[in-house]
Structures are given as structure tokens and as C-alpha cells.
Amino acid sequence: MMLPSAVPGGGDRLPSLPATEGSAMIAIDWGTTHLRAYRLGAAGEILARRAQPTGIMAVAEGAFAETLAALLAGFEEDDGPVLMSGMVGSRQGWIEVPYRDCPARLADLASGLGRVTFGQDRAAFICPGLACRDGDGIPDVMRGEEVQIFGAMAAGGADVATVCLPGTHSKHARLRDGTIESFTTHMTGEVFALLRSHSILGRTMQEGPPDFAAFDEGLHRAGQAGGLLHHIFGVRTRLLMGELGAPSLADYLSGILIGHEIARAPMAGPVLVVGAPELAARYVRACEQFGLEASAIDADTATTRGLHALAGLMGEAA
């Protein structure tokens, strides 16, 4: 069943697509500030990639189809699908693709795809995000990370694990037997940016090379009594007392915030950290500080593996 153009996916049936065996596909990661395209081979290998700073907030009104067509111009044509994930499926994106509820499997994403067209009436499919509620009934959502989680699941090979996706709004997802059972969001990156740029703490900070000793001190502090709000004020007082230099303050603050995130988030099994290498390394270091087994997976690898697995599932349903 092919879905109508520019409407969310239809029910619990998988969209019928051309089989991807022996052909390539296009994987798109379209977020708030970025647009990345990957041409993948039949085995999921990256054959070519492109990126530009035209996230959804930079796209002129109604110009999503033109933006995608321009990005993909010159990519070799093939019969494989174009699959997109990220904020392109949000209310501010191309179309709003409804969230799927946790617990969720890869097939739940496939059955909730939205369909759009671009270029010469070529179809593209947008992955839905996921939603869940915490133990007190407060909702949580993600868009784009769900694809990376399934990609990390394939790369990590663990039946039970936690996938940590650090960033502006870090996500912790709990996995079991191919299912995303639940997840939580932590505004660690955004709070760090706000404190560094718009607080008295930031006024005393100076640029410098990474200071992992200061970062480790921040991790250690996060495990002590007093609470987050008390701990972050210590960034200022340790400078005043000559215990930390101005170039080390940002790393100390980073350690405190990441430490609080990791120390208080329930984790099971190995932790798979998905992100840019430098940030992922900090989170692996933090996990190890609190006695957790952790390893890093590149974000591009997680995204392309997740979308390639989704395309394979859709091909089987064709």
C-alpha cells in the first residue's frame, strides 16, 4: 500500500517499497540545524555523503521538497528508498508524523512512516519519533534518536543495554530483546551552554585545551552530597580560592553536569554511547567513573545502520 503524498503513515501496515537488495538507498538525517545525506550500498556501507546547514529552521516556508532535491542533485539514481529521520517529521518540519508509543520495535517505526514527494514525483519516507511516560506520568519524546538507537542496537549486539545519546538534550533509552522499552531526556547540553554564556560562571571562564583532570574532579563532585545547584556554585568558589584556573572551569562544570546525569539515570546492561567522538568520550569516561561498562558508537554509523535496517524491513514487506 502506498501512502498518500504528504500525510502521516497509515496504521499498522508497512509501506510497500521496491526491494533494496542489490541497490542503494538514501539515508537522510534532518534536524533543527543540520541536513545530512548518505548514499548507502546494499550492505549499508556509506558510498557518498553530503551535509549543509539547512536544518528545518533554515528552510523557507514550503520549500522542503526543493531543498531535498537540491541536496541530492548528482547522486546516482537508484530504485532504493529515501528514508529520513529527525525534526523533519515534527510540527515545524515538512509534515508532522505522529509519535509511536513505547515499548517500540523497528516494525513500529516502519508502520508509522509519513510519505512525501520531491523532484519528479519521487517518494521519500519520514520516520516517526517515539513517546513514553515516566513513572509519574510525565510525557517524554524524541525524534531522530530512535533511528540511532536501533542502529546502535545492531552495532552493539547486546540483548539488554542502555543507549546514551549525549547532546543538547541527552537521551537514555532502555533496550531489551530488540525493543525500546522507555527513555528519559536530560537537558545537560543546553544547561551547560546557558551557564557558560549567560551566568556569572561563564564570565570567569577562559578558553584552553581540554582539562580532563578538572573534568574528572567534576565527575567526582557529582557523586557527593549537596545537590546539583550547590555543586555548580563551586565552579565559582574554586576559582576564587585558587583551586582551579579559569581555563579549567568549563571542564569542571562539564564534569559536574554530566556526572549528575549519569549518576542518577537508571542504567542496565552495557552502555552504548552514540555521538560525536569528543563528547562521546566524555560520557564513556563518566560511565566508567560510576562503575558502568561503556563503549562509543559514531553517530553517523548509528544513523545509517538504523535507516538501512528500516529499509530492509520495508523491502521484506514489499
DSSP 167: S
Is residue 78 included in any domain, yes or no?
A: yes
Is a pLDDT exceeding 60 seen at residue 289? Answer: yes
Is residue 236 included in any domain, yes or no?
A: no
Q: What is the mean pLDDT of residues 205-215?
A: 96
Element of type H or E holding 85: strand 82-85
Q: How many CB atoms lie within 10 A of CB 207?
A: 7
Is residue 229 included in any domain, yes or no?
A: no
Is residue 218 included in any domain, yes or no?
A: no
The pLDDT value given to residue 21: 44
CATH number at residue 50: 3.30.420.300
CA distance 81 to 251: 43
Bridge partners of residue 171, in order along the sequence: 165, 185
Omega before 103 within 30 of 0, i.e. cis? yes
> Mind listing the pLDDT tens digit for each residue in 164-188?
999 999 999 999 999 999 999 999 9
CA angle 138/142/145 to nearest 5° reads: 145
The half-sphere exposure of 86 on its side-chain side, counting CA atoms within 13 A, is 21
Is residue 280 included in any domain, yes or no?
A: no
Which residue is listed with cell 544547561?
Answer: 191
Q: Which amino acid is at 298?
A: D
**Domain assignment of residue 49, given as a range:** 25-131+301-317
CA distance 162 to 294: 9
Is a pLDDT exceeding 70 seen at residue 318? Answer: no
Is residue 76 included in any domain, yes or no?
A: yes
Buried b (16+ CB within 10 A) or exposed e, 36-59: bbbbbbbebeeeeeeeeebbbeeb
CA distance 1 to 16: 5
Is residue 141 included in any domain, yes or no?
A: no
> Mind listing the pLDDT tens digit for each residue in 31-84?
999 999 999 998 899 999 999 999 999 999 989 999 999 999 877 666 578 999
Bridge partners of residue 131, in order along the sequence: 101, 141
CA distance 75 to 278: 31
Is residue 100 included in any domain, yes or no?
A: yes
Q: How many domains does the chain have?
A: 1
The pTM of this model reads 0.88
CA distance 145 to 19: 25
Q: What is the mean pLDDT of residues 3-28?
A: 50
